[in-house]
A = this chain, B = another copy of it.
Amino acid sequence: MINFINSIKSKGIKKIEKSAISEIIRVINRPEIISLAGGLPAPETFPKEIISSLSQKVIEKHWNTALQYGSTEGVILLRKIISDFLKEKGIKAKWENIGIVSGSQQALDFLTRIFINPKDNIAVEAPTYIGAIDAFSFYQPNFVEIQTDEEGAIPEKLEKILKNKKIKFIYLVPTFQNPTGKTMSEKRRIEIASVIKKYNTILIEDDPYGYLRYKGKHQKPIQTLIPEQTIYLSTFSKILAPGLRLGFYVANDEILKLMKSAKQTSDLHTSNFDQFIAYEYIKTGSFKKHLPKIINIYKKRQKTMLDALEKYFPKNFSWTKPEGGMFIWIEGPKNFNSLKTYWKAIENNVAYVPGQYFFVKPNQGKNTMRLNFTNITEEKIILAIKKLSEIIKKNI
């Protein structure tokens, strides 16, 4: 049967079935491991009592629509209230231009589905979000890497790419990027937007972490500069609960229509029940009240990790100092091999993600690693960083 199944697999599935990182991630589920590897929110941040009471409210008020088949683009009440709260971010979008998906991951899948034929070019930052690489890969694109500096994608490098290649879309995470935590300044955003405006192409702006700002000033999404050419993505995973699988996108009329077709044939629509919970979460003011609690927990954890790095890590290592988000990106000296060190770290019950997995081209980022600080206690953060420093010092 294995041979038979192998013989009938599609080209797309062959591209994604072997994820090198899954082997890496698999080991970290052992209970004795302190994991800085994941990208999970802290369960302590889940507003569980709120969700419990909102569930009842949803059944009382909306059961008829919440439990029935619904609109492919999403529950209208939710789309309308998202349209309202996006105004605070500077995004002016009619509710008709907002679509609900099952996590913003699904928007990445559908956007590739509607635009990409095999060998079409997609431009992504080096490094970039691993889940995006996976979602794109099924459609067999040609990845083009945009070089980055301390603010993410470099406008001149992007322009050079757009001048020489037909790029179907550009994928960026401009705020607290995964994996680096880097954020583009206002100036950088304007430069990037003007390059994209100049060349006929589309920006996918992924913004899952925007609300998780622990200091500094909010940066307006690039979407606000080039709304017609941007598909803006965000999610309830970091501000409500990822288990509900609720994401949303903002797109122009034509793209929304295509996204609707993709969703219609794929899963009809996202859980109406969960959508109404998200609606009531915003509507009742619970979100506004709850968000500071989430920020308070993460802010402390991030500071703890940055302090521990300062105190324990070898002096020839450097790292990002993000003003929010979930990750810190570490760069070691040229001779540091983070994959080799990874297995030593696992032996010592500490896990992280070796940075090379965030690059689409081989032989990059071998001296880098991504650390997550949201999902473990401050005590364990200190312990993990201390251990990790010792392992690195021994193995370099």
Cross-chain contact of A10 among B117, B200, B242 (Cβ < 8 A): B117
* One of A102-110, A152-160, A211-219, A331-339 contacting the partner: A102-110
Task: Verify B272–A12 contact, CB threshold 8 A.
Answer: no
Most buried by B among A52, A114, A131, A270: A114
Q: How many copies of this kind of chain does the complex include?
A: 2
* One of A57-65, A308-316, A385-393 contacting the partner: A57-65
Residues of B within 8 A of A116 (CB): 10
Residues of B within 8 A of A255 (CB): 5
Residues of B within 8 A of A65 (CB): 243
| Contacts known (A65-B243, A115-B9); A266 close to B59, Cβ less than 8 A | no
Within the assembled complex, what's the spacing in Å between the Cα atoms of A342 and B377?
A: 64
* One of A43-51, A287-295, A299-307, A320-328 contacting the partner: A43-51
Task: Verify B254–A269 contact, CB threshold 8 A.
Answer: no
Most buried by B among A40, A64, A131, A254: A254
Within the assembled complex, what's the spacing in Å between the Cα atoms of A394 and B235?
A: 54
* One of A132-140, A172-180, A189-197 contacting the partner: A132-140
Interface residues of A in 124-165 (CB under 8 A from B): 131, 134-135, 137-139
Q: Tell me whether A280 is interfacial, beta carbon within 8 Å.
A: no
Residues of B within 8 A of A106 (CB): 266-267
Task: Verify B55–A68 contact, CB threshold 8 A.
Answer: no
Residues of B within 8 A of A200 (CB): 4
Within the assembled complex, what's the spacing in Å between the Cα atoms of A200 and B5?
A: 10
Q: Tell me whether A17 is interfacial, beta carbon within 8 Å.
A: yes
Q: Tell me whether A265 is interfacial, beta carbon within 8 Å.
A: yes
Task: Verify B67–A242 contact, CB threshold 8 A.
Answer: yes
Within the assembled complex, what's the spacing in Å between the Cα atoms of A49 and B56?
A: 9
Task: Verify A109–B266 contact, CB threshold 8 A.
Answer: yes
Within the assembled complex, what's the spacing in Å between the Cα atoms of A252 and B168?
A: 37
Task: Verify A273–B244 contact, CB threshold 8 A.
Answer: yes
Q: Tell me whether A268 is interfacial, beta carbon within 8 Å.
A: yes
Q: Tell me whether A258 is interfacial, beta carbon within 8 Å.
A: yes
Distance from A162 Cβ to chain B, minimum over Cβ atoms (Å): 14
Task: Verify A13–B113 contact, CB threshold 8 A.
Answer: yes
Residues of B within 8 A of A20 (CB): none
| Contacts known (A254-B2, A254-B5); A48 close to B52, Cβ less than 8 A | no
Flag A17-31 by CB within 8 Å of B: 1 or 0 each.
Answer: 101000000000000
| Contacts known (A56-B52, A200-B4); A46 close to B17, Cβ less than 8 A | no
Task: Verify B56–A68 contact, CB threshold 8 A.
Answer: no
Residue of B nearest to A255 (CB): B5
Task: Verify A267–B102 contact, CB threshold 8 A.
Answer: yes
Task: Verify A245–B261 contact, CB threshold 8 A.
Answer: no
9 A-B pairs with the lowest CB-CB distances in the bound complex, closest first: A55-B55, A67-B241, A243-B272, A52-B59, A106-B267, A5-B254, A67-B243, A102-B267, A13-B114
Contacts A13-B262, A69-B243, A245-B268 supplied; 19 other A-B pairs, CB < 8 Å: A4-B200, A5-B254, A6-B254, A10-B113, A10-B114, A12-B114, A46-B67, A49-B59, A55-B55, A67-B241, A68-B243, A102-B270, A138-B262, A138-B265, A243-B271, A245-B267, A245-B271, A245-B272, A271-B271
Q: Can you list 10 A-B pairs, Cβ within 8 angstroms, ordered by A?
A: A4-B200, A9-B258, A10-B139, A16-B261, A16-B265, A19-B261, A52-B60, A101-B267, A267-B267, A271-B274
